[in-house]
């Protein structure tokens, strides 16, 4: 395939729902990164309950996002793109804020996961290392070189085709799932680990606001099943593959965030997990199998690599989708010869390498990025309500019943409440403060500046705060939707004796 034969504004359609799930296997990383830190302010039962509630909410939100993914089968960017479509008729910069917030939430977790990856490798195999050097007043070491290597590894796997990266994620993902399954069972049955409910508590250091902030700071991982929607235009069957991947990864999350922490905290005790917030899985392997801490390190390192690969892919597509819609610099509206948004991926990695060098603790990075992510979720959910009102006749290969409309409104209010409490009270977790929230606000406001630059300077258009929104799809969008509708209504299992007005399996509400 030659360079000239590629449409530099269209993503390659090579993925299946299994590839989407493989990319979403980044999600266990949230468990590894946050559980130990949370046990400093809440008990294990409290944290697990928060995660369970959040995972159920995520499952329901993914049902909503699946409808919008099928509405725009050619559009990259996932949740942020739906926010752009829903809000541009009312206040277009909100779309830019949603997209940059989404990108910020996913992208900056690359540097966080990379640093933790480097720390794990150094602590396990290079304990005697003394390498240290300073850049702009920050002390760096061997772990940061490993972190940079992990970023470049993820960039290469994504730049030369997402299918290859998804294949690697499948292998690493199976390793992670197998490792978690083994240690979960071991914590429950091993004679050297005495699992007991007495090791788990409902303690809360503070009041209900502390629990709300715990939900806020972990929303980036418990809501993250929506990541598969970012790859919607790259699935061979956009509507079916997106819906299947979202449903399956959401159910996996519900099980993961209940069973694994219950087994580990109940076996090791809250104190051990709290004192080893990054490598408590390695401690569990060591106690269960004697001298097998390195196996736990490999499991965690593999999960972190999956996270870095997936978030690099997702962050790049968020920028690409933003540029496609004319809301940031046009140079990012481009794909390389492998059908991948290479410039966006490269910019993403360069930014994270800079953040890793210049910014302090990885958890502070997470706190700064979380505001943008939750804003994108709020604007994406509210876009569902606006699109139902403004585009009632738009073809929907997946259509939820009208009963979802008030339910989604409740979800929007709930997420606004959690975000407000989290932004105003980050110190309740024992780290962070106003500075991290101000950094996030500054980045989001800068997105409006880039939106204005694209329209006024690059596109030479007047600055508009409201943009026209078509009531029906046109051109290539209409053709793509017609294809999706035809695929949905021509499933081999439903061709015979099917009433054309009967919803397909994907259109039926399981609730």
pLDDT for 332-372, tens place per residue?
888 888 778 888 888 888 888 877 776 655 566 666 678 88
Any bridge partners for residue 42, and if so which?
Answer: 204
How high is the pLDDT of residue 500? 36
pLDDT at 361: 59
Residue of 287, 361, 363 lying closest to 37 (CA atoms): 363
Predicted pLDDT of residue 1: 41
Give the per-residue pLDDT at 375.
92
Mean of per-residue pLDDT scores for the chain? 81
Six token digits for residue 460: 């030479």
Q: Provide CB contacts within 8 A for 318, sequence distance 6+.
A: 77, 78, 80, 99, 102, 103, 106, 107, 230, 344
Tell me: pLDDT of 386 over 80: yes
User: pLDDT at position 409, please?
Assistant: 97
> For position 166, what pLDDT does the model report?
66
More confident residue, 233 or 501: 233
pLDDT in tens, 194-219: 899 999 999 998 889 999 999 988 88
Q: How far apart are CA 72 and CA 477, in angstroms?
A: 7
Give the dihedral sign, CA 212/214/218/222: negative
**DSSP H helical segments within 391-463, as ranges?**
404-424, 434-453
Distances (CA, A) of 236 to 13, 245, 441, 478, 507: 5, 13, 37, 17, 19
> Two tokens at 295?
């196996």
pLDDT band at 21 (very low <50, low <70, confident <90, very high): confident
Domain 34-492 has CATH 1.20.1740.10: yes
Supply the pTM of this predicted model.
0.82
Q: Which strand (E) or helix (H) includes residue 62?
A: helix 44-71
pLDDT, position 208: 92
Output the pLDDT for position 6: 45
**Cα 460 from chain centroid?**
34
Per-residue pLDDT band for 164 (boundaries 50, 70, 90) equals: low
Among the ranges given (7-11, 276-280, 299-303), the one the predictor scored with the smallest mean pLDDT: 7-11
Tokens representing residue 401 in the block: 């019943």
- Is residue 342 within 8 A of residue 256, CB to CB? The reply is no
The predicted structure's pLDDT at residue 507: 43
Give the model's pLDDT for residue 502: 36
Which whole number is the average pLDDT over 317-340?
80
**CB-CB contact of 508 with 243 (8 Å):** no
pLDDT at 320: 83
Q: Which tokens in the block code for residue 369? A: 């990025």
- Residue 511, pLDDT > 80, answer no
- What average pLDDT score do residues 175-192 get? 87
**Looking at residue 499, what is its pLDDT?**
34
Distance (Å, whole) CA 119 – CA 122: 5
C-alpha closest to that of 447 among 95, 79, 106, 110: 95
Residues of the chain with pLDDT > 70: what percent?
A: 86
Cα(457)–Cα(250) distance, integer angstroms: 42
Decide which of 92 and 44 is more confident.
44
Of the candidate ranges 21-35, 194-208, 286-300, the one whose mean pLDDT is the lowest: 21-35
CA distance 297 to 146: 15
Tell me phi and psi for residue 106, to 5 degrees.
-80, -45
pLDDT band at 432 (very low <50, low <70, confident <90, very high): low
Q: What angle do CA 328, 330, 333 make, to 5 degrees?
A: 100
User: Where is average pLDDT lowest: 23-27, 401-405, 418-422?
Assistant: 23-27
SS3 425: coil
Alpha carbon 62 to its chain's center: 12
Q: Would the pLDDT of 411 be above 90?
A: yes
Average pLDDT over residues 486-499: 52
**Residues of the chain with pLDDT > 90: what percent?**
22
Confidence band, pLDDT 50/70/90 cuts, at residue 162: low
57-100 pLDDT, tens digit each: 999 999 999 899 888 888 766 888 899 899 989 998 888 788 78
86-100, 117-131, 165-179: least confidently modelled range: 165-179
b (16+ CB within 10 A) / e for 156-194:
ebbbebbbebbebbbebbebbbebbebbbebbeebeebe
- Return d(Cα 404, Cα 393) in angstroms, integer: 17
Top-confidence residue, 36 or 135: 36
């Amino acid at each position: 395939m030659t360079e000239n034969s590629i449409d530099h504004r269209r993503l390659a359609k090579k993925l299946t729902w299994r590839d989407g799930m493989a990319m979403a296997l980044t999600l266990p990383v949230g468990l590894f990164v946050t559980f130990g830190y949370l046990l400093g302010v809440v008990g294990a039962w409290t944290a697990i309950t928060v995660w369970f509630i959040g995972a159920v909410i995520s499952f329901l939100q993914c049902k909503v996002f699946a409808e919008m993914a099928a509405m725009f089968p050619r559009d990259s960017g996932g949740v942020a793109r739906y926010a752009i479509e829903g809000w541009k008729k009312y206040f277009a910069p909100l779309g830019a804020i949603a997209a940059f917030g989404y990108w910020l939430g996913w992208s900056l977790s690359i540097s966080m996961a990379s640093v933790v990856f480097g720390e794990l490798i150094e602590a396990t195999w290079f304990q005697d290392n003394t390498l240290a050097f300073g850049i702009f007043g920050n002390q760096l070491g061997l772990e940061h070189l490993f972190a940079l290597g992990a970023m470049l590894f993820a960039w290469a796997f994504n730049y030369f085709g997402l299918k290859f990266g998804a294949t690697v994620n499948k292998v690493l993902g199976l390793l992670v799932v197998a490792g978690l399954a083994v240690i979960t069972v071991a914590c429950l049955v091993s004679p050297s680990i005495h699992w007991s409910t007495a090791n788990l508590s409902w303690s809360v250091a503070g009041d209900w606001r502390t629990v709300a902030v715990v939900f806020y700071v972990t929303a980036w991982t418990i809501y993250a099943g929506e990541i598969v929607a970012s790859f919607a235009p790259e699935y061979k069957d956009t509507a079916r593959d997106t819906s299947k991947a979202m449903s399956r990864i959401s159910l996996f999350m519900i099980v993961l965030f209940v069973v694994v922490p219950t087994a580990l905290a109940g076996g090791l005790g809250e104190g051990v997990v709290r004192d080893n917030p990054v490598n408590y899985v390695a401690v569990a392997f060591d106690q269960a199998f004697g001298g097998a801490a390195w196996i736990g390190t490999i499991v965690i390192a593999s999960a972190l690599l999956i996270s870095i690969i997936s978030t690099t892919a997702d962050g790049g597509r968020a920028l690409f989708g933003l540029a496609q819609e004319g809301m940031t610099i046009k140079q990012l509206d481009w794909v390389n010869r492998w059908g991948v948004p290479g410039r966006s991926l490269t910019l993403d990695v360069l930014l994270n390498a800079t953040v890793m060098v210049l910014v302090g603790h990885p958890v502070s990075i997470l706190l700064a990025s979380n505001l943008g992510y939750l804003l994108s979720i709020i604007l994406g959910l509210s876009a569902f309500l606006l699109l139902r009102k403004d585009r009632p006749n738009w073809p929907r290969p997946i259509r939820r019943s009208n009963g979802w409309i008030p339910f989604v409104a409740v979800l929007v209010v709930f997420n606004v409440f959690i975000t407000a409490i989290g932004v105003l009270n980050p110190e309740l977790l024992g780290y962070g403060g106003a500075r991290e929230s101000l950094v996030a606000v500054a980045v989001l406001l800068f997105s409006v500046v880039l939106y204005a630059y694209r329209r006024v300077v690059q596109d030479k258009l007047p600055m508009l705060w409201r943009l026209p929104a078509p009531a029906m799809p046109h051109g290539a969008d209409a053709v793509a939707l017609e294809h999706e509708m035809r695929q949905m209504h021509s499933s081999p299992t439903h061709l015979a004796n099917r009433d054309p007005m009967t919803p397909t399996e994907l259109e039926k509400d399981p609730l």
